Amino acid sequence: MNLLIIGAPGAGKGTMSELILKNFPLVHVSTGDMLRAAVKNGTPVGLKAQEYMNKGELVPDEVIHDIIVERLSQDDIDNGFLFDGYPRTGAQAVDLDAILNELGKKIDCVINLDIADEELIKRITGRRLCPNCGEIYNIYFFPPKEEGKCDKCGADLIQRKDDNLDSLKVRLGEYHKNTQPVIEYYEAMDLVKQVDASRAIEEVFADVKSILEGLC
C-alpha cells in the first residue's frame, strides 16, 4: 500500500501520519524531515535547500526529485510507504508518477485532510504553549482554567512566533496555490479520499483507518 497524505498547515497531517504509522506497517517518507537532516549534515542538497527553507519557500523541484529518487532506491520501501509533504506541486506529482513507473510501483490512495481556512486560523492563532512543561492549549478549543497560565505548572503561557495571522495567511495562500493542482491531478485518477479534518483527532483517524483497511 503506497499512500500520500495532503493537508494545509494545521490540518493535523503530522498527528495523522503518526497514527497511520502506528497502525500500518508503512515507511514514512517526509521530504521536510529529509531536507532538515540534509541541512543539519551540511550535504550538497542541504546547502541548496537551506536558503529556500529559511524563507518558508518551496525548495526547487529538481532538488526534491534527486532526494526522492535516492530515497526510493532503498529496499525498505518495497512493503509500502507514506509520503508526507510530497508532492507539493503539480510538477512534482507528474515527476513522481514517472519515477514510480520506472520502479513498477504506483500510488494507491491519497488522503486529503479537508478543513476550512477559518478553522485553521483559529487552531493556529489560538495555540498557546507552556515554555516550562510543554503543555499545549488553544484559547478557542482548549483554554487554560486561568487565562494565560498553565493548568499543570502555573507558568505564563507563550505563543510561537510563526503562529501569527500574517505568516499563516502567507503559508495558506502558498498551500492553496501549489497543492490544489496536486489534489486535482489525483482526483482525475480517482485516488483521492476526502476526510473532514475539522473534527476531534480520534474521529478523523477512525475515518482514515477505515479507508486504509478497505485497501488492505
Is 13 a residue of the active site?
yes
DSSP-derived letter for residue 9 is T
Residues within the interface to ligand AMP (CB under 6 A): 31-32, 35, 52-53, 56-59, 64, 85-86, 88, 92
Residue 46 three-state SS? helix
Q: Catalytic pick from 22, 48, 71, 88?
A: 88
Is 88 a residue of the active site?
yes
Distance between CA atoms of residues 57 and 52, nearest Å? 5
Nearest to ligand AMP of 56, 131 (CB atom): 56
Rg (CA), the chain: 18
Nearest to ligand AMP of 57, 187 (CB atom): 57
CB of 21 to ligand AMP, least distance (A): 16
Measured from each CB, the residue nearest to ligand AMP is 32
Is 171 a residue of the active site?
yes
Non-local (6+) Cβ contacts of 111 within 8 A are 3, 4, 5, 6, 16, 193, 195, 208, 211
Is 199 a residue of the active site?
no
CB of 141 to ligand AMP, least distance (A): 22
Q: Catalytic pick from 106, 152, 160, 169?
A: 160
CB of 88 to ligand AMP, least distance (A): 4
Distance between CA atoms of residues 119 and 46, nearest Å? 34
Residue 19 three-state SS? helix
Phi, psi of 11 (to 5 degrees): -75, -15
CB of 56 to ligand AMP, least distance (A): 6
Active-site residue list: 13, 88, 127, 160, 171
